[in-house]
């Protein structure tokens, strides 16, 4: 991967102050620390470089490159859903779970619903 060197800070766009009432503390320029702003500008510059390179890619190649990512994300969703569903039903059927140094389980015995 090639190294991206951001331009000097003087050539980066500056953050203009806007009324604080309409901005959250995270995006309000009055609340952004100088070091954070520098890191943000570096990331913004790098993101712009990737965006510029992405614009030069042929649309059919974009589709080809995106397909494996979509497949991976779909598999992740399916695997996560299956795993969480299995864990939930195991717990609901009485399997013990450790929570905050305590072992708990749902009891399947009448009159004694929870341990």
Q: Determine the pLDDT at residue 103.
A: 83
Q: What angle do CA 74, 78, 84 make, to 5 degrees?
A: 145
Q: Determine the pLDDT at residue 50.
A: 86
Q: What is the pLDDT of the chain when averaged over all its residues? A: 75
Per-residue pLDDT reduced to its tens digit, 2-37? 555 555 554 555 444 444 455 555 566 677 777 888
DSSP single-letter state for residue 48 = H
Mean pLDDT (whole number) for 70-77: 90
Q: Determine the pLDDT at residue 25.
A: 56
* Nearest Cα residue to 45 out of 95, 11, 90: 11
């Amino acid at each position: 991967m090639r190294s991206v060197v951001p331009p000097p800070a003087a050539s980066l766009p500056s953050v203009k102050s806007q009324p604080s009432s309409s901005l959250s503390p995270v995006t309000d320029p009055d609340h952004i620390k100088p070091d954070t702003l520098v890191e943000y500008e570096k990331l913004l510059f790098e993101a712009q470089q990737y965006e510029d390179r992405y614009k030069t890619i042929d649309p059919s190649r974009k589709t080809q490159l995106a397909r494996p990512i979509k497949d991976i994300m779909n598999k992740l969703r399916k695997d996560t859903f299956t795993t969480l569903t299995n864990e939930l039903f195991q717990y609901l059927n009485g399997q013990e779970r450790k929570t905050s140094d305590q072992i708990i389980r749902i009891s399947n015995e009448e009159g004694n619903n929870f341990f």
